[in-house]
Structure 1
């Protein structure tokens, strides 16, 4: 995604995007999810398809295609090719600030729980406080992982001068650098961590060290709001059903995730359970059911200051629309 979440995953996991070609709500359609089959943000849509939730709400979704990132999703939304998408908050804010008619219609991931930091098993670094003098990796300049690295240093009670931060160009190269001794601490994402048991030692998951930071949001355009409100409501409802299954029965949800994400049901269940573990003082879960969790949105917007971008002038009421959420998710901005 652009900037902050363009950020997250340095081009590998960037902002999760779903798109739907503009067509009659009764028509068979495919949805297009950025990094589908790789990025954890897209897992609820695999569950919605596999468990039949799209059918239950009256949507004829025949398949899910992948796309390379959130930036193309926003471009397609604005070009009229998509009615619904997921994108990182700062990508959406940058587009809105530039005059785009984008509206945020739900929070789909309330935290960056899929991101953590690892060391090699024999590393003397046992806690984040031990990072003084260490080499800490991040994916790309002006990325989410760069901002998170700076936040992690602060959370450890250290200063930026006490930890050397190094751009590696992606999560994979960062882990390779860690293995070859060029880094002491590297960021990692699920499901890479769970797919490589014992290879790295977890230092911390992001939500255990940092405040909630919104991962991705459901977005649409004023045009889609006017032309396809029923479709938007059904998409949000089908996704909510999927998230509820993932929270209440990870093993069952994992059956629908395993195939598209090329992992065993056991690993898929582990990833789902890990990400849906409530974290922080507010017991926030990774996948939200749609409610706009304002604290995590504000935290991420504020974190952009670390990268030289100031969003303190945001008028949230002007850029959000909760009318397409399931009834029990409306108006929950501050909870």
Structure 2
């Protein structure tokens, strides 16, 4: 697994093999990356005449910028694709990946907090203002009848691992996290899930496949082959969970049983197909959070290969 900007060389050789990088947000840290890691490990890329290096990027907007700066394609959180288009980047989404709201909220095993209603008068650790963790904390709290900043205090504490550290030290009462880190913390410390964002947000596209328009026009066959390879990774998760967990756990250096728990909790949420309500929910959430303008043309951003 690479990290950072990757190499700018993207080409198909005389042997017919396309060689290059593919940008993946949260490659080593977020559950949506499992099909890509499985595809790379099992030779699915090679069978599509693709020699791809999965390159990790830390966040959605960083990933989209990497795609726009030369890599050409990859997977990003879905909202940042719409944000990037509003800012003038010529990028399109052409496939879904993970269809559940991915942020979880956990507390130490001995915490008196057991439900979202119990956080009234408490503090929640989130990443930073405008982040997915903040957006989902605010959205789910409101749906549960609580007002962020009034009934519950949100504190910006950084990454999911940082959030758990301050929660375990008693600085905040509840920490934000996401699979597979959620399952790892639970297995290692006995922590408990208080609520998952997907309990409250049913229609959602968390991450998607995307590429610049010039890349799509020049390399439609590359993208189609990549989708098929990733689709086979999803199929393994759906049909052979233990094998998928073994491969995924090895790739991210997690124990197989933790990887299995993470994939089991996410089973059924992997899909390459967009549903209109999912996209509408993403756009509405972006507008509500002030990250998107009020007029967003979904059909100008989402395309079919």
So what's the TM-score if we normalise by structure 2?
Answer: 0.88
Change (3 A) 1:103 1:240: same
| RMSD (CA atoms) | 2.4
Q: Is the 8 A contact 1:85 1:218 kept in 2?
A: yes
- Is 1:104–1:320's contact at 8 Å kept on the other side of the alignment? yes
Q: What do residues 66-120 of structure 1 show as CA deviations (whole Å, max 9, x unaligned)?
A: 34444343233323x223111222221122112221111111111223x211122
The 3 A distance-change label for structure 1 pair 18 and 46 is: farther
Residue number in structure 2 paired with 1:195: 184
CA distance in 1, matches of 2:39, 2:60: 21
2:252 alignment partner, SS class: coil
1:158-307 equivalences in 2 (<5 Å): 158-160=146-148, 161-196=150-185, 197=187, 198-276=189-267, 278=268, 285=269, 287-288=270-271, 290-307=272-289
The offset of 1:228, in angstroms, is 0.7
In the TM superposition, residue 37 of structure 1 has moved relative to its aligned partner by 2.2
Shift of 1:21: 4.4
| Residues 185, 216 of structure 1: alpha-carbon distance in 2 compared, 3 angstrom cutoff | same
- Look up the match of 2:134: 146
2:116 to 107, 128, 133: 128
Structure 2 gap ranges (5+): none
Q: Partner of 1:322 in structure 2? A: 304
Match of 1:104 among 93, 96, 104: 93
2:8 and 2:263 map into 1 onto residues whose CA distance is 25
Question: What is the number of residues matched between the two proteins?
Answer: 296
**Structure 1 unaligned residues grouped into runs of 5+:** 1-16, 279-284, 324-335
Match in the other structure for 1:95 = 84
Aligned mates of 1:189, 1:310 — CA distance in 2: 24
Give, in angstroms, the shift of residue 30 of structure 1: 4.6
Distance (whole Å) between structure 2 residues aligned to residue 136 and residue 271 of structure 1: 23
Specify which of 66, 75, 78 is matched with residue 65 of structure 2. Answer: 75
d(CA) in 1 for partners of 2:81, 2:9: 19
- Residue 118 of structure 1 aligns to a residue in which SS? strand
C-alpha separation in 1, matches of 2:9 and 2:101:
28
